């Protein structure tokens, strides 16, 4: 019988969301009629901006006419979108990124998961704890780790984000080749300053390492002194790949559009000691394994950069950030320590007791569902994550209930 890739068997089924669902089910059965509010979810709630919808409708109509019909598009994305992204997201902020360095895709999840294919299996990989699970699981699938021992895979270097370091990990004490960073962070909501990112870029240059910088939440940064892109940091073009997404900033979680920046200055060595362009390798992979994002979706994404699109997406971000402020204020008034919620849509709270004990308390006493931090890695234990992605009504109601339950 044909054999499977045994590395998949090292992955434990993700019990986190199944466990949450079971506890919520038990609660609703025991408390019929009592409304549960879910403040754990990382999906957006507000509808697509009008500018994006109008552009998508117009693009669909173009496809309906012989003269304007389009078939297969360029896998890397249409020039109109790549150019708009390069200009508005990077060049306008003084970061040197060219349109041909942008690879449009259907998600930062896929790209952060697929990028490791470019690298050898015996490299040393550093991954944050707590973590967006895709980074770990895709390296496990690729055979870069040993077994899972108490929530940590043998062979990975873990970058601990704790109250002690303000949830921004220190540089590793051992040499690593590939470094995953995520700011603003999911799950902690922590951000990194230019000085902190500069230290990572300098480290990567010294070690000839590559940084994979996940900036899926950069649109939520409110403090103008904080970098949105790693390419605002001198030297980053030689050591960093960046992942971005329209999912959270423009409500595209169901529409699907994102992009990855692979600068042409980025090189890694091959097995014979030669230098290989990562831009060329990613282009090869992308054009071989990906068909491109559909034309109407790319038109909808490009509409984000029209004056109306900018106004509407900024209003979306302001809406979620006001939710975040309301949650953060309530949590702080109760005397709980938290980070996030100021430059990120997540609020990471130090729990009274274990993650799951605090989860149960919020559920049973307030009817609120949060995400237990322990589900994101051992350093998440003793924390919970609340999300600002919800309606204002739900956030106000949730906060009232939390205030009376925990007061």
Return the number of the residue (240 or 366) whose C-beta is nearest ligand PLP: 240
Return the number of the residue (127 or 330) whose C-beta is nearest ligand PLP: 127
Please state, in angstroms and rounded to a whole number, the distance separating the CA atoms of residues 323 and 306. 26
Among the candidate windows 47-55, 155-163, 245-253, 378-386, which touches ligand PLP by CB under 6 A?
Answer: 245-253
Query: What minimum distance in Å lies between the beta carbon of 252 and ligand PLP?
Result: 7
Give the list of residues 6+ apart from residue 9 with CB closer than 8 angstroms, or none. none
CA–centroid distance for 175 within its chain: 25
Please state, in angstroms and rounded to a whole number, the distance separating the CA atoms of residues 259 and 262. 10
Contacting ligand PLP within 94-113 (CB under 6 A): 107-109, 112
- Does position 169 interact with ligand PLP (CB under 6 A)? The reply is no
Return the number of the residue (37 or 258) whose C-beta is nearest ligand PLP: 258
Candidates 114, 145, 191, 245: give the one binding ligand PLP (CB under 6 A).
Answer: 245
**C-alpha dihedral over 19, 42, 45, 347, to 10 degrees?**
110
**C-alpha dihedral over 55, 57, 59, 63, to 10 degrees?**
180
Closest residue to ligand PLP: CB criterion = 107
- Does position 216 interact with ligand PLP (CB under 6 A)? The reply is yes
Return the number of the residue (48 or 406) whose C-beta is nearest ligand PLP: 48
Candidates 129, 177, 214, 242: give the one binding ligand PLP (CB under 6 A).
Answer: 214
Return the number of the residue (76 or 399) whose C-beta is nearest ligand PLP: 76
CA distances from 339 to 125, 178, 286 (A): 26, 27, 37
Please state, in angstroms and rounded to a whole number, the distance separating the CA atoms of residues 168 and 282. 29
Contact code string over 118-157 relative to ligand PLP, x by CB under 6 A: --------------x-------------------------
Query: What minimum distance in Å lies between the beta carbon of 344 and ligand PLP?
Result: 10
Report the candidate in 90, 84, 74 with the shortest Cα–Cα distance to residue 52. 84
- Does position 366 interact with ligand PLP (CB under 6 A)? The reply is no
Candidates 76, 247, 249, 371: give the one binding ligand PLP (CB under 6 A).
Answer: 247
Please state, in angstroms and rounded to a whole number, the distance separating the CA atoms of residues 372 and 22. 14
- Does position 42 interact with ligand PLP (CB under 6 A)? The reply is yes
Contact predicate 395/388, CB 8 Å: yes
Phi, psi angles (nearest 5°) of residue 167? 65, 20
Instruction: Catalog residues that contact ligand PLP under the rule CB under 6 A.
Output: 42, 107-109, 112, 132, 182, 186, 214, 216, 245, 247, 253, 258
């Amino acid at each position: 019988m044909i054999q499977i890739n045994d590395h998949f068997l090292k992955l434990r089924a993700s019990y986190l969301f199944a466990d949450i669902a079971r506890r919520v089910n038990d609660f609703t059965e025991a408390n019929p009629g009592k409304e549960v509010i879910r403040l754990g979810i990382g999906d957006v709630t507000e509808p697509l901006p009008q500018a994006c919808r109008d552009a998508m409708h117009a693009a669909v109509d173009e496809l309906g006419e012989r003269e304007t019909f389009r078939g297969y598009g360029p896998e890397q994305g249409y020039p109109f979108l790549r150019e708009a992204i390069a200009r508005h997201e990077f060049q306008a902020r003084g970061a040197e990124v060219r349109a041909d360095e942008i690879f449009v895709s259907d998600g930062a999840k896929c790209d952060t998961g697929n990028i490791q294919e470019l690298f050898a299996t015996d490299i040393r990989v550093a991954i944050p704890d707590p973590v967006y699970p895709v980074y770990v699981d895709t390296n496990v699938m690729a055979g870069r780790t040993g077994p899972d021992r108490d929530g940590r895979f043998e062979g990975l270097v873990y970058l601990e984000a704790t109250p002690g370091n303000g949830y921004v990990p220190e540089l590793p004490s051992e040499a690593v080749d590939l470094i995953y960073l995520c700011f603003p962070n999911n799950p902690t909501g922590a951000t990194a300053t230019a000085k902190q990112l500069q230290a990572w870029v300098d480290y990567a240059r010294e070690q000839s390492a590559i940084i994979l910088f996940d900036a899926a939440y950069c649109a939520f940064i409110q403090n103008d002194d904080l970098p949105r892109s790693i390419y605002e940091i001198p030297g980053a073009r030689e050591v960093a790949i960046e992942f971005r997404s329209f999912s959270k900033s423009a409500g595209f979680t169901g529409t699907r559009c994102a992009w990855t920046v692979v600068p042409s200055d980025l090189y890694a060595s091959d097995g014979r000691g030669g230098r290989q362009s990562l831009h060329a390798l990613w282009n090869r992979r992308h054009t071989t394994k990906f068909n491109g994002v559909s034309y109407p979706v790319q038109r909808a994404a490009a509409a984000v950069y029209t004056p109306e699109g900018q106004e509407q997406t900024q209003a979306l971000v302001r809406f979620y950030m006001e939710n975040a402020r309301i949650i953060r204020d309530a949590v702080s008034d109760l005397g709980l320590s938290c980070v996030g919620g100021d430059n990120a849509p997540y609020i990471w709270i130090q729990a009274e007791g274990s993650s799951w004990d605090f989860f149960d308390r919020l559920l049973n006493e307030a009817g609120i569902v949060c995400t237990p931090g322990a589900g994101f890695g051992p350093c998440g234990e003793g924390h919970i994550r609340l999300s600002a992605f919800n309606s204002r009504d739900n956030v106000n109601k949730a906060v009232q209930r939390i205030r009376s339950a925990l007061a």
